Amino acid sequence: MGFLYDAKQIKKRDPAARGILGVIFLYPGFHALIYHRIGHFFYRIKLFSIARWVSQTARFFTGIEIHPGANIGKGLFLDHGMGIVIGETAVIGDNCTIYHGVTLGGTGHDKGKRHPTIGNNVLIGAGAKLLGPFTVGNNVMIGANAVVLTDIPDKATVVGIPGKVVRIDGKPISHAQELDHAVTADPVEQEICKLLHRVMALEKASGVSPQQKHLPTMCDPDKYDSEENCNRLS
């Protein structure tokens, strides 16, 4: 039975759970899941008003808002639950854990797929925001208050705003080079290089021989022969 499996998974993953009956009668995350299963049934048979009434009733009693169109796998644990929002085209795999304040939201006003797809065995920390129609792989951990906007590979750990992968399969990912200012592009140099190229282009157009010998090293015409290539300066 699906509801019993859901309750067992909650008890298994919550060290504070005292028993199956406690989960069934006292856990708002479990109650929200029951409401959603019922609302999703009505949504699939196109009784949309009834489906929305069920989901809004769940929101009133649990503080958890799940659109009846969302596809949710078995074993979802909505821990604490208050403030969770799951959008219409969101997909959640099996045995996931979502903490309070999480949003699986859409971007824009277009119809169609606009919410995230979550794999199996994913943990999403409190307050995290996943916005847009991207995919989160299996066995992913997303840190509290992270803002995720792009695809996440399997077995990744994501933290920060915007969300950044810091580990894959337990192994750290180095982002040190991104903070090395010695190899970071200088926007001032880039703009000067572009201006010098425009001067050279005007000199050519007016029949004046371009004074390339006066160009600084950073704007070597043999290497940066167009304004676009100035963006490669670092």
Residue 13 has pLDDT above 80, yes or no: yes
pLDDT in tens, 48-70: 999 999 999 999 999 999 999 99
Residues 6+ apart with CB under 8 A from 81: 28, 29, 32, 62, 63, 64, 100
Residue 199's H or E segment, with its range, is helix 187-205
Same domain assignment for residues 153 and 40 = yes
Same domain assignment for residues 59 and 160 = yes
Same domain assignment for residues 111 and 155 = yes
Chain centroid to CA 122: how far? 12
Cα(107)–Cα(122) distance, integer angstroms: 22
Token couple for 214: 């006066």
Per DSSP, the three-state class of 96 is coil
pTM of the model: 0.68
Segments forming the whole domain that contains residue 227: 181-232
Of 183 and 141, the one with more pLDDT: 141
Whether residue 3 contacts residue 37, with contact meaning beta carbons closer than 8 Å, is answered with yes
Residue 233 has pLDDT above 80, yes or no: no
Please report, in angstroms and rounded to a whole number, the separation of the first and last CA atoms in the chain.
60
> Omega before 221 cis (within 30°)?
no
- Residue 179 banded pLDDT, cuts 50, 70, 90: very low
Environment class of residue 164 by beta-carbon count within 10 Å: exposed (0-12), middle (13-18) or buried (19+)? middle
Distances (CA, A) of 161 to 96, 147, 164, 165, 209: 22, 5, 7, 11, 50
Of 129 and 19, the one with more pLDDT: 129
Residue 207 has pLDDT above 80, yes or no: no
Same domain assignment for residues 82 and 159 = yes
Same domain assignment for residues 188 and 77 = no
Cα(133)–Cα(116) distance, integer angstroms: 5
What is the number of domains present in the chain? 2
Cα(189)–Cα(170) distance, integer angstroms: 39
pLDDT of residue 198: 82
Same domain assignment for residues 55 and 103 = yes
pLDDT of residue 168: 87
Same domain assignment for residues 104 and 157 = yes
Cα(142)–Cα(32) distance, integer angstroms: 22
- Which of 173, 200, 224 is the endpoint of a domain? 173
- What CATH number is given to the structural domain containing 138? 2.160.10.10
The 10 Å CB-count burial string (b at 16+, else e) for 40-76 is bebbeeeeeebbbebbeebbeebbbbbbbbbebeebb
Same domain assignment for residues 45 and 151 = yes
pLDDT in tens, 122-163: 999 999 999 999 999 999 999 999 999 989 999 999 998 888
- Which of 173, 203, 220 is the endpoint of a domain? 173
The mean per-residue pLDDT over the stretch 170-180 comes to 60
Same domain assignment for residues 9 and 88 = yes
- Which of 129, 157, 173 is the endpoint of a domain? 173
Same domain assignment for residues 70 and 157 = yes
Same domain assignment for residues 19 and 123 = yes
Strand 135-136, strand 117-118: pairing: parallel
Same domain assignment for residues 154 and 215 = no
Mean pLDDT, rounded, of the chain:
83
